[in-house]
Amino acid sequence: MGLLLFGTKKADIGVEEVLLHCPSCEGATKADVMVSTLYYHIWWIPMCPTGKLATFICSECGLKRVDIPLEKNIISNYKEIRSKFRNPLYTYFGVAFFLFLAIYAYFDSRG
């Protein structure tokens, strides 16, 4: 029997300044958004990304909201932020590895 180590891990992608509604200031203010990606791993080898998280820091009052899922209803320019901060390629390593193994096994069995 072997030990199977798996779970999720977070990797930082980048920082951007956006306009959003602050619940503390009760108005539209600029805030720094730090975007991170979550991915599954097995033995610390990335398998596939599962989602993106954002940390917001209001530039007016300093309110910090940590690890909020990156969704349309929170950020006004959601599509721009989502396309700017793409998942790093290494988070797809597991998918690529198993796809390579499947293709290799297929062609190896043919002849």
pLDDT at 100: 94
In degrees and rounded to multiples of 5, residue 54 shows phi and psi of -130, 145
Between CA 16 and CA 24, with CA 19 as vertex, the angle to 5 degrees is: 110
Residue-wise pLDDT tens digits, 42-87: 888 899 899 889 898 998 888 898 988 887 877 777 788 888 888 8
Q: What rounded mean pLDDT belongs to the chain?
A: 87
Please tell me the distance from the alpha carbon of residue 28 to that of residue 30, in angstroms, as a whole number. Answer: 7
pLDDT at 2: 66
* Whether the predicted pLDDT of 111 surpasses 70: no
Quote the percentage of the chain above a pLDDT of 90: 31
